[in-house]
Amino acid sequence: MPFYQFTVPSGGATLQHKAEIAEAVTKVHAEVTGAPSAYVHCAFTEVGADSIFVAGEPVIGPRLVGLIRSGRSPEVRARLLHGLADAWCAITGDAKEDLAIFIVEIPGANVMEAGVILPEVSEDAGAIS
């Protein structure tokens, strides 16, 4: 279920390493949450260099929005955010200060995957996505 959407300015290092980043994001998500790696989705969208703004000013750093199932503890979400940032920076050479990562939690009932509406996260369950 997790869906990671990268928005990256043209020519950025993220685009040169998409497969490596997708593999690293999948590994981090699976290790932190216990979800099977087969459930992790990654997509990359390239935008013009002048297409990302903060406070009305253009920025060059890539952005990541991750949709995950709600129900995880603040500690798990923090480990996930730090793990994603560390992996991304190690591969691309981007500075953490240039990144923005947004994790959005959604109820399992709002997701259908492989024809099945997902259950809610249960910390007692085995693997969760």
pLDDT tens by residue, 64-98: 999 999 999 999 999 999 999 999 999 999 999 99
Give the pLDDT score at 66.
98
Residue 121 is predicted with a pLDDT of: 85
Q: Look at residue 126 in the predicted model and tell me its pLDDT.
A: 40
CATH architecture of 3-117: 2-Layer Sandwich (3.30)
pLDDT (0 to 100) of residue 12? 84
pLDDT at 37 over 60: yes
d(CA 124, CA 51): 43
Q: What is the pLDDT of residues 8-32, one digit of tens each?
A: 999 888 899 999 999 999 999 999 9
Give me the pLDDT at residue 123, please.
Answer: 56
Question: In terms of Cα–Cα distance, which of 75, 74, 77, 96 is closest to 85?
Answer: 96
**What residues does each domain of the chain span?**
3-117
H helix runs in the chain, sequence order? 13-16, 18-33, 74-92
Render 35-87 in DSSP notation, one character per residue. --GGG-EEEEEEE-TT--EETTEE--S-EEEEEEES---HHHHHHHHHHHHHH
Nearest to 32 by CA among 7, 8, 68: 68
